[in-house]
Amino acid sequence: MSATTFPLRAEWAKFTTLRSLWTTPLLAVALSAGITAVVQFSYGKTDTSLTEDPMEGVFYGLNFGQVAVVCLGILLVGQEYASGTLATSLAAVPDRVRFFRGKLLLGAGLGLAVGVLSVAGQLAATEASVGLDLSAPGTARALAAGMLYHPLLLVLCLSLTTVLRNQTAALGLLSPMVFLGTTALSAIPGVRDVAQFLPDRAGLYAMRLHDAPDVHYGHTTGLLLAAAWTALAVAAGLRTLRRRDA
């Protein structure tokens, strides 16, 4: 075992030395908090789609901020394939389990930081504009789900990029899937029954306060569903990394 290499340190150093990497989580927080603030201050008190389920208003910005989270997950692995630094990375940390663990730890850590900060920002913007009853049933759960959704989504994208071994392919597959595909699929009545089990649909449902009649699972189960997808992707990523030539 190559126990004396420091994969997480290497990953952190890679992250901090590349501007396109370290600006992305900042962008995610700024987009989520900023857009929620703009929307809540402008329409928070008038638009019924925002007041019906208060979390709809709180997490309005998240729909945009998650674009940056997906990009970060793809970039953390994809830029190594795109630039060819993967060979150097694996020469430095040849144990691929340890290497991938370093990527996952950094991805999960960054995701959680983005989650906490962007939920805090969206919450603050909501409190300052329309106000929010924090004691209402389900609110704590919805906010926690909002925070956890970020690391799950980020690690999912990071792992799928490892499976695809190609940054462009990952961007091409994941961005439309998360931002167009599943939303569009959910609009088709027959397909909706299936599409609601996709990771982003399930994760976003966990952030809602009220039950939706046509969703076949509960809010907490939604978060677990998203976690299961992520776990599956991690396993697939590790399998690819261990089996394929770098």
Partner 1 sequence: MIEIRDLTKAYGERRVVDGLTFRVAAGRVTGFLGPNGAGKSTTLRMALGLDRPTSGTALVDGLPYARLTEPLRRVGALLDAQAVHGGRTAAGHLSWIAASHRLPARRVDEVLALVGLSDAAGRRIRTFSLGMRQRLGIAAALLGDPAALLLDEPVNGLDAEGIRWIRTLLRRLADEGRAVLVSSHLMAEMARTADHLVVIGRGRLLADTSTADFLAENGRRRVRVRAVDPAGLAALLAEAHPEAVPLGDGAWDVPDADPGELGALAASRRVVLIELSVTHDSLEEAFMRMTADAVEYRAVTA
Binding residues for partner 1 (CB under 8 A): 1-7, 9-10, 12-14, 17-20, 79, 83-85, 87-95, 245-246
Identify residue 148 by its one-letter amino acid code: L
Least gap, CB of 95 to partner 1 (angstroms)? 6
Least gap, CB of 25 to partner 1 (angstroms)? 16
Q: Give me 138's structure tokens.
A: 């389900």
Least gap, CB of 109 to partner 1 (angstroms)? 16
Task: Compute the distance between CA of residue 79 and CA of residue 86 in angstroms, rounded to an integer.
Answer: 9
Q: Which is nearer to partner 1, 50 or 72 (CB)?
A: 72
146 class by beta-carbon count within 10 Å (0-12 exposed, 13-18 middle, 19+ buried) = buried
Task: Compute the distance between CA of residue 160 and CA of residue 90 in angstroms, rounded to an integer.
Answer: 19
* Number of neighbours of residue 53 by Cβ within 10 angstroms: 18
Task: Compute the distance between CA of residue 174 and CA of residue 111 in angstroms, rounded to an integer.
Answer: 17
Task: Compute the distance between CA of residue 171 and CA of residue 245 in angstroms, rounded to an integer.
Answer: 22
Least gap, CB of 94 to partner 1 (angstroms)? 4
Can you tell me which residue has the tokens 């939706």?
212
Least gap, CB of 83 to partner 1 (angstroms)? 4
DSSP state of 198: S
* 209 three-class SS: coil
Task: Compute the distance between CA of residue 143 and CA of residue 128 in angstroms, rounded to an integer.
Answer: 17
Least gap, CB of 82 to partner 1 (angstroms)? 8
